Chain A
Amino acid sequence: MDAVLAFLTVFTHPELLLLVGLGTFAGVYVGAIPGLSVTMAVSILISFTFSWDVHPAIALMIGIYMGGVYGGSRTAILLNIPGAPSAIATALDGYPMAKRGEAGTAIGVTTVMSFIGGFIGIGVLAVAAPFVSDFALKFQPRDYMLLAVLGILLVGSLSTGSLVKGIFAGALGIAIGAVGRDPLTFSERFTFDLPLMQGGISFIAVMIGMFGVSEALMQLHHVNKDAVRQQISRIVPSLSTVKKHLPLSVQTSAIGVLIGALPGTGGDIAALMAYDHAKRVTKNPERPFGDGAMEGLVAPETANNAAVGGAFIPMMTLGIPGDAVTAIMIGALFIHGLNPGPMLMIDQPDMFWFIVGALVMANFFMLLFGLTGIKLFTKIVEMPRSVLIPLIMLLSIVGAYAVNNSLTDVYWMLGFGFFGYFMRHYGYPLGPVILGVILSRLLDDNWRRAIISEREDLGRFFHGVFTSPLSTVLFIAVILIFVSQTPIWAKAKAKLLGGSGQGVEQ
């Protein structure tokens, strides 16, 4: 009964309702601007809401979080610039749709799917949080490493065209991610004794440059062409469209919740893995992936919003953050006099249900704000290029500066922008670069932890892999996915089935 009352707190207090709504609205727009991140917004809010009660403060933060994760898809679809790392996969199929004048449809589907993903995430949080967090704790360094290897194999799905170029791009990303002081031993790597390089290269600066600036430069090629007229007759997707994609969205949401619940991985990796999953299981997309496949929107958007609920699971049950935003929220709970940790659920279960309630409300607001104002947004892409290109440049520069208030990041961003332009020009995909940067640390740190734990003995390492069911499953998945991308697999399959083979399921 207390749980129900706590859950309903948000719904019965108009000011809390208003704050969640306000937060979600702000989140959608903060999320849409590359460089302005939810993490940043929430950490500013900690100081801002310092003197408030804990409920309104958390309500506002949850709104921003939910709205922000969704908002990243807006600019990804309209301008090919992901507003946040978790929207990188969304750009792959969303932008081709916008180029065809279907931006309205793309945003509509994205919104509804984010809503569904968000709900699945919250549902798992409400029903199975202790169970999922116990499972997440079971992940050992070697499992994180195998997960990162699994992620690296996504290079295949993210590269359109030449796989070799994709692998090159991925390797470049891993190298970029390794620049700076190694976090485990503090020795310098790839810094060439330049103090500038010691802090590493801001991953957000790379992302904004590669997507934003290179896009602006690409647009310069046809500066005189008329912009594509957007049809905005059908924004809310039909029930049959939603039904058709429901099975996929449930699967990708599951990926999102789990990856989100793992401390150390978040919505960005979840969205990319979900995209890859969709590519594997979708037999006949209406349009090929990378050319505006609806499934290519459904998968990452359900996954990254499901990861929100997922990230709260270790936070609420163990006091361990599931991602950067929940890390800050733990700090906020401390400041407001609570003691987040394994005892929070036992000492103050009403806080848990209050958060679940606020998330549900934020999810509804997200649907509301997502489906309104699309007409205005699509006008952005209909703007003449002479306005649009400077606008993209401006957004990119502001975004890159805002990450660390550092001008150096702006230079990095511009540098990677030019580099990205030439990469695109010569057919090198950009997605794998970002993938490499995201996974670089995960792979490197956890491989080293895993092998150090086994006294640097490969025999003991593999013994560990094969005596843990979790590691064994991950290892087999890595092998299967790797083999399935080689010609041997296709040949073997053709021989065995005597027909056209499809990709394996994960």
Chain B
Amino acid sequence: MKRFVFGAVSALVLGVSAAAAADYPAKEIQGIIQWGAGGSTDTVMRSVTPHAEAVLGGTVVMQNMTGGVGAIALNHVAGQDADGYTLLMGAENPLLYKVMGLGDKDYSDFIPISILARGTPILVANPDAPFNDYAGMMAYIKEHPGELRVGATGPGGLPSVVTAMINTVEGKMNVISVPYDGDGPALTALQGGAIDVMPAVLGAAIEGIRAGKMKPLAIFDVAANPKLPDVPPVTDFNAAYSTYLPWGPFFGVFVKKGTPDDVVAKLAAAYAKGAENAEFKELMDNRGFNMLAISGAEAEAFLAKWQQGTTWLLQDAGLTKTSPEAFGIARP
């Protein structure tokens, strides 16, 4: 009897999930955005999703769920059914949760639908700063130890990774690290003179650079960026950076692990098509993001490589709470 009930139930479950996949989406899909309204992740997701919706033939209702460096949103989606009706729209941060002690879940509990794009970091300074490039900044730090104020966005944020990279390559910098809520407020503070230097994503700084409100010191990449061809890549100053570059924050859409394969395939196809939209591509280009639009094994490999490189960099800089080794993340 027990066996029969079990069989009946599992048949029912299988039947339901098969039906769910065939006519997916049968209801509204929830899109949980990890970051606040108006931020980069929010803008990217709200621009690509309508194009994906058109392919999918359904609606994705997006809402912002902020807090805990995105962990609140991640845990929320992880707590929903793995039926493809709740999407996580996030950035790179979750890959650092484990080593930073921010949570016990990361993207390994999810399936990537699409890793949409990657950003490029750039080092910018207040226009009145007494140096004009990366070499000048390093010389200034040596002459004035403990004077330069560098913006930060908390452990695991882009500035902390870039700073860790500089510390690893050049030896520990003696600077003051001033924490802000995000790169928006920090770049505002930079223009007001509250901080002198800020590592930011290119897209957030580009308009300020164009207007002369901040000056670029170096692009954190192995080659100059077509958006700012006159700004030298940091590898021009110190070739040792090429070990860690190219590196950058990224945006992606995810579903919980266990979501039926055909639902994943449907979503991945929709977002891949959506990311090809000309308007979306132009928007991403304007903001200085490199399009990736990868999914499946390629996306998994990208995530694994990113996590390895970044967590070990932070580990070597002494910024982690737990060694990546403890979570089975091998040294690259």
Taking beta carbons and an 8 Å cutoff, which residues of A are in contact with B?
39, 42-43, 46-47, 50-51, 137-141, 180-181, 183-186, 195, 198-200, 263-264, 314, 318-321, 324, 327-331, 334-335, 337, 339-344, 346, 404-405, 445, 448-449, 452-453, 455
Contact = CB atoms under 8 A, between A and B. Distances in A.
A70 B247 CA distance: 46
A137 B188 contact: yes
Contacts of A340: 207
Contacts of B102: 181, 186
Contacts, number: 141
Given A183-B154, A321-B184, A335-B47, A328 B38 contact: yes
A199 B282 contact: no
Contacts of B149: 453
Contacts of B72: 198-199
B249 interface: no
Contact of B46 (A50, A140, A199, A320): A50
A437 to B, nearest CB: 15
B48 to A, nearest CB: 10
Contact of B189 (A141, A339, A455): A141
Contact of A264 (B38, B146, B185, B283): B185
Interface string B182-210: 00110011011111000000000011101
A334 B46 CA distance: 11
Interchain residue pairs A-B with the least CB separation, the first 3: A341-B207, A342-B211, A327-B38
A195 B103 CA distance: 10
Interface string B35-74: 0111100110011011000000000001111011101100
B123 interface: no
A335 B39 CA distance: 12
Contact of B179 (A335, A342, A452): A452
A320 B283 contact: no
A46 B46 contact: yes
B181 interface: yes
A200 B67 CA distance: 8
A452 B178 contact: yes
A334 B43 contact: yes
Contacts of B208: 319, 341-342
Given A140-B192, A453-B149, A183 B181 contact: yes
B287 interface: yes
Given A39-B37, A138-B192, A264-B185, A195 B100 contact: no
B322 to A, nearest CB: 14
Given A180-B67, A341-B211, A185 B179 contact: yes
Contacts of B156: 186
B211 A335 contact: no
Contacts of A448: 179
Given A320-B188, A340-B207, A343-B207, A335 B43 contact: yes
Nearest to B193: A140
B298 interface: no
Interface in B94-119: 100, 102
B207 A319 contact: yes
A99 to B, nearest CB: 37
B68 A181 contact: yes
Given A186-B100, A199-B67, A331-B43, A337 B279 contact: yes
Contacts of A263: 185, 188
B309 interface: no
B154 A185 contact: yes
Nearest to A452: B178
Contacts of B69: 181, 186
Nearest to B46: A46
30 contacts: A42-B37, A43-B37, A43-B38, A47-B46, A50-B46, A181-B67, A183-B154, A186-B156, A195-B75, A198-B68, A198-B71, A199-B68, A200-B67, A263-B185, A318-B188, A320-B188, A321-B38, A327-B184, A331-B39, A334-B286, A335-B47, A340-B207, A341-B207, A341-B210, A343-B207, A343-B210, A343-B211, A448-B179, A449-B178, A453-B176
A139 B195 CA distance: 12
Contacts of A324: 36-38
A137 B50 contact: no
Contacts of A180: 67-68
B205 to A, nearest CB: 10
Contacts of B34: none
A339 B282 CA distance: 12
B176 A455 contact: yes
Contact of A184 (B37, B154, B213): B154
Nearest to B31: A47
B194 A453 contact: yes
A453 B287 CA distance: 30
Contacts of A183: 154, 181
A329 to B, nearest CB: 8
A341 B67 CA distance: 26
B146 A47 contact: no
Contacts of A50: 46-47, 50
B260 interface: no
Contacts of A320: 184, 188
**Residue from A139, A184, A337 having most chain B Cβ neighbours under 10 A:** A184
Given A341-B207, A453-B176, 7 more contacts: A51-B50, A198-B71, A318-B213, A320-B188, A341-B208, A343-B210, A453-B178
A343 B286 CA distance: 14
Contacts of B176: 452-453, 455
Contacts of B38: 43, 321, 324, 327-331
Contacts of A343: 207, 210-211
Contacts of A139: 192
